[in-house]
């Protein structure tokens, strides 16, 4: 039996950045940790308050993903000792499921003797999530531009962009959870040509602005008509923040992933202070409990330490 303990640190992430629905992701310096080793009998320990509620039996996502990795490698289902903790909350739009999937794949791949490359692990993570935005950011760090491949089962085409210098995010995290499934179920099946053209233009401009460090264009480029207008009914305060953020210090604002977290980009202390007062007013006027975090982009993606036991 491989006696090593694999410790994996995975960044949380935000997806979409407004118009880049299922295509753009950004990693944050907000981390979860998965420790995994082969064992006689499976045990799963969940540490800290953010992951409370996650199952501690073999239905746990981390165990399930590790088993899938072993199966893909042609190995029998393993018994594992798993310990998980996180500074990022579950079901809030900060990519917890993607970071868990990425962490479990990377850890299990080491225990299985590294049969797969990082690119292949990204493909598996994307297939499990159904879209590459959060998974790419957690795997590689920085800003990820990615799409599903034309042919199922093929490598995921993506480009990583270094985050522009000085870019920071103020994230407003409501206390209530919102599952991605619920937030996808409110989206229409069909869109008008005008709305599709709007998003193609905005997402393209946003990607180019991020690549060239044009923070001045984020406010215009982050407009979206594909998901935020429909998800606003699930997130009190979202519409007010999206409508008013750039007049109150933000470079641009968006729903983070499927929500309910709301993301406001800024780059100076003055902008942050103005924004903080604005979001406090909006959230309090809606009577919503929330917390605010200031987050910097993560540049490294998933990190691995191996400890011999
Ligand atoms: N460390 C973990 N251990 C077990 N299950 C986890 C872990 N992290 C996330 N999950 C599972 O992922 C679910 C959350 O996934 P969901 O896609 O709804 O939200 P999210 O990933 O936090 O948000 P988003 O995808 O919008 O950024 C949790 O309810 C839980 O089942
Ligand atoms: N792109 C996804 C992210 C959440 O997993 C969505 O907005 O539904």
* pLDDT value at residue 14: 98
- Domain identity same for 212 and 281: yes
* pLDDT value at residue 309: 78
CA of 51 to the centre of ligand 1 (A): 9
SS3 assignment, position 22: coil
Whether this prediction's pTM lies above 0.95 is answered by yes
Q: How far is CA 58 from CA 4, 5, 154, 194, 200, in A?
A: 21, 19, 29, 47, 42
* pLDDT value at residue 3: 79
Q: How far is CA 70 from CA 62, 87, 231, in A?
A: 13, 28, 37
Phi, psi of 99 (to 5 degrees): -70, -35
Atom index in ligand 2 nearest the CA of residue 22 equals 1
Question: With a 6 A CB cut-off, is 257 part of the ligand 2 pocket?
Answer: yes
**Beta strands 80-86 and 24-38: pairing type?**
antiparallel
- Domain identity same for 97 and 127: yes
Residue pLDDT tens, the chain, 309 long = 577 999 999 999 999 999 999 999 999 999 999 999 999 999 999 999 999 989 999 999 999 999 999 999 999 999 999 999 999 999 999 999 999 999 999 999 999 999 999 999 999 999 999 999 999 999 999 999 999 999 999 999 999 999 999 999 999 999 999 999 999 999 999 999 999 999 999 999 999 999 999 999 999 999 999 999 999 999 999 999 999 999 999 999 999 999 999 999 999 999 999 999 999 999 999 999 999 999 999 999 999 999 987
- Domain identity same for 105 and 246: no
Cβ distance 251 to 266 under 8 Å?
Answer: yes
Question: With a 6 A CB cut-off, is 293 part of the ligand 1 pocket?
Answer: no
CA of 176 to the centre of ligand 1 (A): 14
Residue nearest to atom 25 of ligand 1 (CA): 95
In a mutational test of the pocket of ligand 1, which residue from 51, 100, 130, 173 has the highest number of ligand atoms less than 8 Å from its CB? 100
Domain count, the chain: 2
- Domain identity same for 10 and 126: yes
- Domain identity same for 152 and 216: no
- Domain identity same for 23 and 109: yes
**Beta strands 80-86 and 43-47: pairing type?**
parallel
Atom index in ligand 2 nearest the CA of residue 23 equals 1
- Domain identity same for 201 and 95: no
Cβ distance 48 to 86 under 8 Å?
Answer: yes
Q: How far is CA 40 from CA 45, 60, 79, 116, in A?
A: 15, 18, 6, 25
CA of 193 to the centre of ligand 1 (A): 33
- Domain identity same for 37 and 185: no
Question: With a 6 A CB cut-off, is 14 part of the ligand 1 pocket?
Answer: no
- Domain identity same for 135 and 253: no
Cβ distance 36 to 8 under 8 Å?
Answer: yes
Report d(CA 246, CA 143) in Å as an integer: 22
ipTM of the complex: 0.96
* pLDDT value at residue 1: 54
CA of 148 to the centre of ligand 1 (A): 21
> Could you tell me which residues are annotated as the binding site for ATP?
89-99
> Could you tell me which residues are annotated as the binding site?
89-99
- Domain identity same for 204 and 272: yes
- Domain identity same for 99 and 135: yes
Return the ligand number nearest the Cα of 130: 2
> Kind and range of the H or E element at 219?
helix 218-221
CA of 247 to the centre of ligand 1 (A): 33
Q: What is the CATH number of the domain that holds 89?
A: 3.30.230.10
ω into 66 cis (within 30 of 0): no
Question: With a 6 A CB cut-off, is 258 part of the ligand 2 pocket?
Answer: yes
What range defines the domain where residue 203 resides? Answer: 168-295
Residues with Cβ < 8 Å from 154, sequence gap 6 or more?
123
Helix axes 133-140, 118-129, angle to 10 degrees: 150
- Domain identity same for 220 and 107: no
Q: What is the CATH number of the domain that holds 256?
A: 3.30.70.890
């Amino acid at each position: 039996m491989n006696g090593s303990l694999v410790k994996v640190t995975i960044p949380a992430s935000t997806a979409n950045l407004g118009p880049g629905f299922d295509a753009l992701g950004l990693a944050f310096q907000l981390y979860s940790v998965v420790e995994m080793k082969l064992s006689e009998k499976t045990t799963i320990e969940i540490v800290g308050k953010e992951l409370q509620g996650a199952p501690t039996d073999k239905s746990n996502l981390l165990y399930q993903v590790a088993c899938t990795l072993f199966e893909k490698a042609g190995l029998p289902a393993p018994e594992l000792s798993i310990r998980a903790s996180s500074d990022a909350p579950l079901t809030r739009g900060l990519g917890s499921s993607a970071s868990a999937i990425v962490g479990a794949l990377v850890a299990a791949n080491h225990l299985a003797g590294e049969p797969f490359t990082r690119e292949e692990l990204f493909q598996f993570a994307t297939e499990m999530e159904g879209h590459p935005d959060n998974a790419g950011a957690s795997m590689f760090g920085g800003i990820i531009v990615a799409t599903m491949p034309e042919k199922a089962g093929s490598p995921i085409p993506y480009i990583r962009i270094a985050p522009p210098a000085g870019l920071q995010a103020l994230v407003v995290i409501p206390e209530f959870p919102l599952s991605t499934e619920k937030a996808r179920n409110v989206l229409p099946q069909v869109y008008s040509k005008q709305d599709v053209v709007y998003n193609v233009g905005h997402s393209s401009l946003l990607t180019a602005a991020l690549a060239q460090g044009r923070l001045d264009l984020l406010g215009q480029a982050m407009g979206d008509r594909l998901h935020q207008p429909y998800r606003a009914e699930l997130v009190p305060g979202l519409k007010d923040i999206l409508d008013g953020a750039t007049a109150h210090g933000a470079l641009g604002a968006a729903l983070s992933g499927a929500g309910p977290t709301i993301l406001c980009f800024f780059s100076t202390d003055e902008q942050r202070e103005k924004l903080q007062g604005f979001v406090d007013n909006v959230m309090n006027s809606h009577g919503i409990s929330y917390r605010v975090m200031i987050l910097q982009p993560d540049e490294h993606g998933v990190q691995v330490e191996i400890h011999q036991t």
